[in-house]
């Protein structure tokens, strides 16, 4: 019965399952928890769950220490589990371990992955709050660590971990140390820095770090690349903004769409000629008039283009597509040209 419930959870795009004695069994899909079994978890179900997931030694640890963590592998999937068995508290949490080849964000733009892997420069990961920026950062780190082991420093108020196996080469630097000079011993041995704070107060520090040949990835709370460029041009002095554009490798703005919160992305990758163009617009005070689709079409993916890809692959439906679009009229015209 338990194996069937796990399979049912995966079928419904669930990635976490919660078992609490005396409560309904819940599966998490996106950000929502839903029950997958009408009845509450009984003591018999609890014993079945332990028999399914735990080895003999793990059962002994659970009985003696009151908790145990590990990996359970079914025929098709792997789950990371945590069991607690103490007085008045019998609970287990299972998290689906993604396959190494699976891309959670479903970003299939090769320019993005080439730019985000660069050993030096600065990259901005943006989106409004609760749009999966932190999850995207962990995916970027996990993908990199599969091919190249490097020591990463993470400035974040939340010491979160991805739903995959923990990444041991990430050093949590905390938030109170974010203004430390990069020559501080805190950063010794750090090869890349991720700053997951949704806002950046000390741009000059991170520009200097990138100018010194390091790699920096920052998160911002914003709904479009145009908004980000305009804000940078208005808040930073011209010289600082020019320096930023010199080291900026790219920007991605992520948006979760539809009932299943499927990610769609606006992406701008900056190469030498695109940086020259941004310099020109900055000095001419015409950043607000930049048409990214026309001027940077070889390295720019609009949100509508990403939405259309998801529609074609049936990851989102038409109402969700138009609700998420930043230009629904243009989306409608494009879909009609495509005969969709």
pLDDT at 274 > cutoff 50: yes
Summarize pLDDT for 199-250 with one digit per residue, the tens: 999 999 999 999 999 999 999 999 999 999 999 999 999 999 999 999 999 9
Q: How far is CA 141 from CA 138, 168, 273, 332, in A?
A: 5, 11, 28, 36
Tokens of 337: 């040209």
CA neighbours within 13 Å on the CB side: how many for 127? 24
| Average pLDDT over the chain, rounded to an integer | 88
Give the chain's length. Answer: 340
CA neighbours within 13 Å on the CB side: how many for 308? 18
104, 108, 111, 112 alpha-carbon torsion, rounded to 10°: -20
> pTM value?
0.70
Element (H, E) at 118: none
| Range with top average pLDDT, 14-23, 172-181, 241-250 | 241-250
- Range of weakest confidence among 36-40, 223-227, 280-284: 36-40
Tokens of 238: 């011209």
Alpha-helical runs (H) found in 187-302: 203-211, 225-235, 238-247, 272-283, 292-295
Tokens of 160: 């979160």
Residue 58 near residue 68 (C-beta atoms within 8 A):
yes
**What are the domain boundaries of the chain?**
2-97, 110-301
Please give the CATH topology (third level) of the domain spanning 2-97: Beta-Lactamase (3.30.450)
pLDDT at 102 > cutoff 80: no
- Pairing mode, strands 121-127 and 152-155: unpaired
Higher pLDDT, 239 or 188: 239
**What pLDDT was estimated at residue 98?**
63
- Range of weakest confidence among 34-48, 58-72, 158-172: 158-172
Residue 230 near residue 104 (C-beta atoms within 8 A):
no
**What pLDDT was estimated at residue 60?**
93
Summarize pLDDT for 125-176 with one digit per residue, the tens: 999 988 889 889 988 888 877 777 678 899 988 644 444 444 456 788 888 9
Higher pLDDT, 8 or 296: 296
The CATH number that domain 110-301 falls under is 3.40.50.300
């Amino acid at each position: 019965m338990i194996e069937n419930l796990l399979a049912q959870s995966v079928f419904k795009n669930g990635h976490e399952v919660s078992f609490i004695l005396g409560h309904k069994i819940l599966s998490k899909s996106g950000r929502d928890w839903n029950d997958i079994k009408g009845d509450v978890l009984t003591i018999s179900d609890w014993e079945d769950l332990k028999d399914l997931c735990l080895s003999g030694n793990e059962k002994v640890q659970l009985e003696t220490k009151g908790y145990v963590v590990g990996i359970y592998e079914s025929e098709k999937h792997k789950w990371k589990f945590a069991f607690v068995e103490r007085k008045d508290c019998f609970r287990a949490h299972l998290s689906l371990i993604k396959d190494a080849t699976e891309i959670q964000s479903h970003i299939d733009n090769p320019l993005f992955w080439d730019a985000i892997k660069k050993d030096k420069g600065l990259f901005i990961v943006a989106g409004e709050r609760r749009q999966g920026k932190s999850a995207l950062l962990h995916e970027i780190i996990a993908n990199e660590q599969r091919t190249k082991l490097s020591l990463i420093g993470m400035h974040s108020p939340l010491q979160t971990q991805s739903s995959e196996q923990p990444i041991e080469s990430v050093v949590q630097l905390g938030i109170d140390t974010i203004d430390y000079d990069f020559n501080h011993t805190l950063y010794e041995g750090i090869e890349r820095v991720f700053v997951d704070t949704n806002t950046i107060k000390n741009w000059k520090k991170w520009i200097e770090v990138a100018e010194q040949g390091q790699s920096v990835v920052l998160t911002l709370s914003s709904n479009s690349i145009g908004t980000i460029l305009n804000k940078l041009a208005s808040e930073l002095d011209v010289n600082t903004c020019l320096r930023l554009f010199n080291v900026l490798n790219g920007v991605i703005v992520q948006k979760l769409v539809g009932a299943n919160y499927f990610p769609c992305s606006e992406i701008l990758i900056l190469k030498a000629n695109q940086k020259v163009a941004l310099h020109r617009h900055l000095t001419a005070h015409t950043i607000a008039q930049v048409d990214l689709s026309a001027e940077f079409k070889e390295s720019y993916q609009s949100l509508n283009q990403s939405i259309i890809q998801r529609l074609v692959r049936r990851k989102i439906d038409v109402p969700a597509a138009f609700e998420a679009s930043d230009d629904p009229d243009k989306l409608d015209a494009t879909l009609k040209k495509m005969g969709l």
